[in-house]
Structure 1
C-alpha cells in the first residue's frame, strides 16, 4: 500500500474510467474545508454552498460521460450533528448526479466492512482514507491487491442493498 498526496487523490476523483464508489462509516469528520461551513450551519447562518460547486461540476461531467458516482453513508441514529449537517447540504451533489444513500448502522451488524472508509475506482484501485480520532484526515493509502478490492466491492454492494436513497431518508 502506498500513501498518495491530496493532488493525486483529486486526480483520481476526476479521472476514473467507469465507476467510483465511496463508503463512509464515521459519524463525524473534521475536514478543513467543511468545518467552517458546519460552524456556519450550527450558528443558524445560511450557506450558499458555492464551495461544493467544484465537486458538483466533476460529478456532472462524470454522469454526462456515462460514469457512475455512488456514496453510501453508514450512520448512527439519532444522527450526529455532523451527519445532520451533511444531510442538509447533500442536495446539490444529488442534483449533480451523485447517488448518495444512507444506511442506519443498526442494519449493518452482520455486514463485513473494512476498517477504514474507502473509494473504489473501476473495481481496480482502492483508496483507504485514514482519520485521526477528531475526524481530521491523516492519510490516503492506495491498494490494487485483489483481496482488498474484493473486500471493498462486497462490503459496498452489501451496504448498498440496505441503503436508503437521499431523497427518501428521513434523519432521526
Structure 2
C-alpha cells in the first residue's frame, strides 16, 4: 500500500481526460487534515469561506480538471440520519460543486441491492482505480492503484449504479438525528 502525496494526486487528475468518479461509503472520516476543521465546525466557527480556504488546493485541482472538460462526479453512500461528519461534509459540498464536481447522495438503505467494492475509490477514465484505505475509526491508511480490467469494471459498474440511485446535492435534504 502506498500513500499518494499532493503531486501524485495532481498527476492522476492531470492525466485524466474524460471522467473522474469518486465513490464514498463511510459515515465517518477522521483524516488528520480535517480534524481541526471539524472542531471549528462543531463550535459554530466554520462557514463557506473557511471551508473553501481549508480545501483550496483540492478545489483548484478540481477547477483545473473540470476546465479541461473532465466530468467529475462523486457519490456518497450514507446512513440516515446522517452522522456528524456527514453533516459537516454536506455543508461543505457547495464549494466542491462550484469547483466543478457533481455530487449525489445515496441513503445506505437504498443501496442494499448494489454490488460495491470493499473500499472507497476513485475511477479515472474507466481505466484506473485508486482505492482509499482507512482505519476502523476513519484515520488515513493509504492508497492502492489498480488497472486490473475486472477491478475497474466492478468499480465502474458500482459507481454508475449508485449514481443512478442517488439524489443530486441541491435536491437532497439531509436527515439529521433528533439529538
Instruction: Decide: shared fold, TM above 0.5.
Output: yes
Which residue of structure 2 lines up, in the alignment, with residue 5 of structure 1?
Answer: 4
The structure carrying a bigger helix percent of its residues is 2
Alignment of 1:84 onto 2:87 = yes
Normalising to structure 2: TM-score of the pair?
0.91
Structure 2 stretches of 5 or more lacking a match? none
Between the aligned partners of 2:4 and 2:95, the Cα distance in structure 1 is: 27
1:86-131, Cα deviation, whole Å (9 max, x unpaired): 0011111111110011000000101000000000011111011111
Secondary structure of the residue that 2:158 maps to in structure 1?
A: helix
Does the 8 A contact of 1:129 with 1:141 survive in 2?
Answer: yes
List aligned pairs for 1:154-169, cutoff 5 A.
154-169=157-172
Correspondence 1:124 to 2:123: no
**Within-5 A mapping of 1:5-154:** 5-6=4-5, 7-47=7-47, 48-49=50-51, 50-154=53-157
CA-to-partner distance for each residue in 1:1-43, whole Å, 9 max, x for gaps?
x635324234213432221000000000011111111110111
> Cα RMSD over matched residues?
1.3
**Aligned length in residues:** 171
Normalised by the length of structure 1, the TM-score is 0.94
Q: Any runs of at least 4 consecutive aligned residues in structure 1 with deviations exceeding 4 A, and if so which?
A: none
Q: Could you tell me how far 1:68 is from its partner in structure 2?
A: 0.7
1:117-166 CA-to-partner distances (Å, cap 9, x unmatched) read 00001111101111101101102001110010000010001000111111
Kept in 1, the 8 Å contact 2:13–2:65? The answer is no
Alignment check: 8 A CA contact 1:4 1:142 kept: no
CA distance in 1, matches of 2:104, 2:24: 10
